[in-house]
Structure formats: C-alpha cells, structure tokens
Amino acid sequence: MMKIVEDLTLTNRVFCSKGYDEVIEYLRKLLPFEVNGYEGCSCNGWVIPPSWDLKEAKIFHDGRLVWDGMSHPLAVIALSSPFRGKVSKAELLEHLYFDARYDHVIPYHFRQLYRPWKRSWGFCLPRKLYDSLPEGDYDVVIETIESSGCLKVPEFTIQGRSDLCFAFVAHLDHPGMANDDLCGCAVGVELFRRLSRMKTNYSYKLLLVQEMTGSEFYWNFSNPKNKNKIFEGLFIEMLGSKTGLVYQQSQLGASNIEWALTKALEDLKLPFRKEPFRGAVCNDENIWEAYGVPMASISRFPYPEYHCDLDNPSIISQEMMGEALDTLLRTVTLLDSSAMVSKRFKGTICLSNPDYNLYMDPGQPAYGEEGDENATRWNKLMEAIPLLSAPVCGKRLASEFGLPEKSVMDYLARWKEKGLLDISFMDDSLSNSCVDHPSETHKCKCSH
C-alpha cells in the first residue's frame, strides 16, 4: 500500500488524461481490473471533460522565471485553458489561486473538471509568492495537449456463491495528493488482492471512480447485469493520515455493511467517530443513494493537509492504512459468515395460530406472568421480522437483539419451514480465511 502511494502521488490524475491512464495501467498489474470507458455522452447535466495534459506552463517577469507550472501537478488549475501572452499584474492576479490557510502551500483547484463548458487559464501557487509579486507586466505560457475525453472507471469483481454484491468505492482522481484519495484506492486494492484468494459466499466489487462524475456515469451507462446486483456500498477514503477513523452512516443508517463495519471496529477495539449521512464527508455517497444503494463511508477526515500539496507521502502512516485494512477485512468476514435473511410475506402473521406456532410469549404482567429480559428480547425480534424491508444478516439480528446467534438462526429456520423467509448460506461461513485474526493480516503468507 505504501509503495502505491509513493509511486503514484505525484501523477497528474486529472479525470481524462494520459497521467490517469498510466495510473490505471499501474494498478492493473496489481489487480486485473476491467475498465469501463465512457465517451461522447452526458447524463443529468454531467459532462465528460476533454482529455487534458500539460505540456508547458510558466510565468516570467522581466525575463525571470517567477513560477513553474510543471513543478507540481497542482501548480496549474485542472483543465486550464491554453494561453500565451503578456499581461499586467492586475490581470495576472485574476488567474492566480492560493490557499488562505497557509503561506507556503499549493492549493487544489478542481472546479473546471465539473464545468468544462466554462474554462479559463490559471495557476495555483503559495500565498507568500502571490503577495510578493512585483509590479509590471508578465509573460505567461500555458500549452496543453487536448482531445476528446474518455472517462475511465476501473472495476474488479469477486464472484461469490451468491450474486448479492457489496461494493467498495474510492476515487482515483485528485492529482498530486496522497491521502485524498490515493490511500483509499491503495487500501481497496490490497483488500481485494487478499479477498481474491478466498472463496466467498457473497460477491464483492471494487470501483475506482472520478469523484461524483465517475459514479454518475457508471450508474447510467455500465452493464446493467453488473450494477443491478449491487446491494449495499461502502466509500473508503483518506485512510492514511494520522487522524481518527470516522464512520459516516448511510442515509437511513441501517445497512448490513455498516453494521459489520461498526462491529469490526468494536471487535478490533479501534476508537472511531460516528457521524450522520453527509455529516463528515460529502462525496459519491449521495449519488449511490440516489440510485437506491445504501452507501456508508469510512475515512480519516478532517486532516490539516486537505486539498493542498502538503497532502503527500510524508503524512501517510503505514500503521494507519494497516488499521483500515484490518477493519475492512473484518467487515467482510462478518458479512460473509452470516446467513442473509429475506422476508417472503406481506403484512403480519398471527404467529400463535397452530398453522405457524411461532409466537414467543413475553408473559402478561397483569396476570402475574413476569417475563424475563430474555423473553422480552425474543418478543422484540418476533415483532421486528414483519418490518424487514430488505435482506438482513442473521448475525446482525442476533447482535441487535442481544440473543445467541445459534438460537436466533434456529428460530428463523422455523419461519423458513413455514415458507415465510428465505435464508441463504445458513450453515456456511467464510472458510480458509486469514482475516479471522486481523491484527496478523500484514504478516499472512498463506496462498488459499
């Protein structure tokens, strides 16, 4: 994971570019991604920007080089228009951007990637340099290489015994930065390298997208046989900084993957902060939810170096990425070793009817029949089953109602015998897995 970060941070990962294509080919050598390509199309107002690579970018004053736009991937605004000419200082300042938080950093200017119909030329540079520019005229050159853009989204799928699929999503763009979100991509690649050596009950998908735009085009134009199998998702982002883990809920906060994520964090005794939907980060979660897929996220946001050139490998911790990897491996283990329970009826069932005989009696206090706490838990489980609106992990039901997993599954099996529930992989678990001991995953040498 650290090698991915060190090798790829300074690449110019603009949406459609030679640099982006080179990064994809690098990652395909580690994991055999299929690449979805979108070109000559638009959706819901989202437009694919042109292919854009920088050939030359400089600012001169009196023949002296003031700023080299080739010195860092952030030194020229993304998708800058080409420009060559002499400008006054006043005009130049209208095309310069700095980070108000710091004196010596280069900020990330990304807006034109989302508005390619309204492009201008420009540079990003340190505030200290901006403030020290002398009076006079400046010679500016920005030369670009442009063509029709192809938006590329790598996709890797592990086909399990079931088509029911959990998606892990990270964004591969943000040129010149490490934590956002190259670290999420690196953790995702390593997670799926390990999962690909196992036999899984459910299916798992890793998608590396351009933030927001990639997800929108994926849902509009990709093979429906792939995307229609996606049940729930988890956005994995900014996982290398020495800041705390943040679990952000899906819109309803009720998906199986976030139950497993929370349980994994608790099992590993890792401190984390819980935030509501869009309460911590605002990325592709909204798009996935709009297409009917619950999307929670795990990140280490905020961190001080966000969206500037300070976001580089020096702030990335191998330990923090390993911690995130362990958490995700444990999350998959919990999901994959749990039977999935689906409702096959509408309304409620008279469970005391002899035809069903499924009623769990909590006792009648008015008649001196004092049910114990355990009986109350069983009663709450009984009442919750008709309210299920989507498949739910059996482990999750047992955990949420504080009941023994085997006893719960035995009870649910009685519902299945009556034709009221479907239960997948009831007696199966993830076998031959190195992820049962997450703290040792970085040492595992097994070849399942």
Domain boundaries for CATH 3.50.30.90 within the chain:
51-147
Using the predicted structure, report yes or no on whether residue 49 has a pLDDT greater than 60: yes
DSSP code of 308?
A: B
- What H or E segment, with its residue span, contains residue 37? strand 34-38
Query: In the chain, which segments carry CATH 3.40.630.10?
Result: 2-48+150-336
CB 294 within 8 A of CB 255: yes
**Model pTM greater than 0.75?**
yes
Return d(Cα 278, Cα 296) in angstroms, integer. Answer: 9
Looking at residue 436, its pLDDT comes to: 42
Q: What angle do CA 293, 217, 291 make, to 5 degrees?
A: 20
Q: What is the rounded distance in angstroms from the CA atom of residue 213 to the CA atom of residue 208? A: 11
d(CA 108, CA 258): 31
Helices (H) and strands (E) in the chain, counts: 14, 19
Return the pLDDT at 224.
77
Averaged over 241-256, what is the pLDDT?
97
Q: Give tens-digit pLDDT for 268-285.
A: 999 999 999 999 999 899
Euclidean distance between CA atoms 225 and 299, whole angstroms:
30
Alpha-carbon distance of 97 to 78, in angstroms, equals 12
> Residue 432 above 60 pLDDT?
no
Angle at CA of residue 251, ends 247 and 256, nearest 5°: 65
Place of tokens 């990897």: 325
> Tens digits of per-residue pLDDT, 290-314?
999 999 999 999 999 999 999 999 9
- List, in sequence order, every residue forming a beta bridge with 424; answer none if it has no partner: 340
Residue 349's contacts (CB-CB under 8 Å, 6 or more residues apart) are: 356, 358, 386, 420
Q: Are 330 and 269 in contact (CB under 8 A)?
A: no
Instruction: Please check the confidence at residue 439 and state whether its pLDDT lies above 70.
Output: no
- The architecture in CATH of the region 51-147 reads 3-Layer(bba) Sandwich (3.50)
Q: What is the pLDDT of residue 371?
A: 54
pLDDT tens per residue across span 185-210: 999 999 999 999 999 999 999 999 99
Pairing mode, strands 137-147 and 83-88 = antiparallel
Is the confidence at residue 434, as pLDDT, over 70?
A: no
17 pLDDT exceeds 80? yes
- The position carrying tokens 């040792």 is 440
Q: Check residue 370 and give its pLDDT.
A: 56
- Looking at the DSSP assignment, which residues form a beta bridge with residue 208? 170
The helix (run of H) or strand (run of E) holding residue 439 is none
CA dist., res. 263 & res. 257, Å (int): 10
What strands lie across the sheet with 137-147, from one edge to the other?
64-68, 51-61, 137-147, 83-88
Report the distance separating Cα 334 and Cα 322, nearest Å.
18
Adjacency order of strands within the sheet including 165-171: 34-38, 151-158, 203-209, 165-171, 230-236, 295-299, 245-248, 272-275
Q: How many CB atoms lie within 10 A of CB 10?
A: 18
Q: Which of 132, 198, 242 is nearest to 337 (CA)?
A: 198
What confidence tier does 437 reach under pLDDT thresholds 50, 70, 90?
very low
Burial of 367 (0-12, 13-18, 19+ CB in 10 A): exposed
Residue 166: pLDDT over 60: yes
**What would the pLDDT profile of 332-359 be if each residue is shown by its tens digit?**
999 999 999 999 999 999 999 999 999 9
CB atoms within 10 A of CB 27: 21
In the DSSP assignment, the letter for residue 243 is: S
Cα gap 62→217, rounded to integer Å = 47
Confidence at residue 228, expressed as pLDDT on a 0 to 100 scale: 74
Is a pLDDT exceeding 70 seen at residue 438? no
Confidence of residue 433 (pLDDT cuts 50, 70, 90): very low
Neighbours of 242 (CB within 10 A): 11
Residue 203, pLDDT score: 96
Q: Among the CATH numbers 1.20.1090.10, 3.40.50.300, 3.40.630.10, 3.40.50.150, which is that of 2-48+150-336?
A: 3.40.630.10
What is the per-residue pLDDT for 130? 98
When the pLDDT of each residue in the chain is averaged and rounded to a whole number, the result is 92
**DSSP code, position 48:** P
**What per-residue string of b and e applies to 70-97 under the rule 16 or more CB within 10 Å gives b?**
eebbbbbbbbbebbeeebeeeebeebbb
Q: What average pLDDT score do residues 153-176 get?
A: 96
CA distance 331 to 176: 30
Please provide the distance, in angstroms rounded to a whole number, between the alpha carbons at the two ends of the chain.
21
Token readout for 404 is 């023994």
Location of structure tokens 């399942």:
448
pLDDT at 442 over 70: no
Q: In the structure, what pLDDT confidence band is assigned to residue 426 with cuts at 50, 70 and 90?
A: low
Q: Residues of 169-183 as b/e, b for ≥16 C-beta within 10 angstroms? A: bbbbbbbbbbbbbbb
What's the pLDDT band for 361 if we cut at 50, 70, 90? confident
373, two tokens: 């706490």
Report the pLDDT value the prediction gives residue 363, as an integer from 0 to 100: 56
CA-closest candidate to residue 205, choices 256, 170, 157, 161 = 157
Q: What is the pLDDT of residue 362?
A: 64
**Calpha distance 16→39 (Å, rounded):** 10
In this prediction, residue 367 carries a pLDDT of: 43
Distance between CA atoms of 344 and 141, rounded to whole angstroms? 66
* Number of neighbouring beta carbons within 10 Å of residue 285: 27
